[in-house]
Structure 1
Amino acid sequence: MEEKKKAKVRKSPTKQVHLECDMALYKKFEEYCYRNGKDVSKTIRSFMKMCIGE
């Protein structure tokens, strides 16, 4: 069987810039979490709960 490669989706220039900014922000957040010994998903979950008051 031949594996099919996923084609990289190119977005409109504006959306592509936003995606790249979001990815850069996520990478910095991930580095911050690891530096401080925190789990990324647990940190995000805690933040979301804090925002909605749970």
Structure 2
Amino acid sequence: MNGTKNTKHRFIYTDVYKDRVVQLYYGGMKKKDITEEYEVSMYLLNKWIKQYNRDIN
């Protein structure tokens, strides 16, 4: 998992990592596949997608 830092059982994800994962979703990859391959929860993925949409509007 590149782009992350483990701090006492919590991961801190860089903005670059989040953007890369969100772009996979917008590129057509299924959310389920993203969460499994990149080991992020569905909750986080949905949160990042919402943040991305707010940032571009």
- For this structure pair, what is the TM-score category when the shorter chain's length is used for normalisation? 0.3 to 0.5
TM-score by length of 2: 0.37
- Which has the larger helix fraction? 1
Structure 1 or 2, whichever has the larger Rg, is 1
- Which has the larger strand fraction? 2
Q: Which has the higher contact order (CA 8 A, sep 6+)?
A: 2
TM-score by length of 1: 0.39
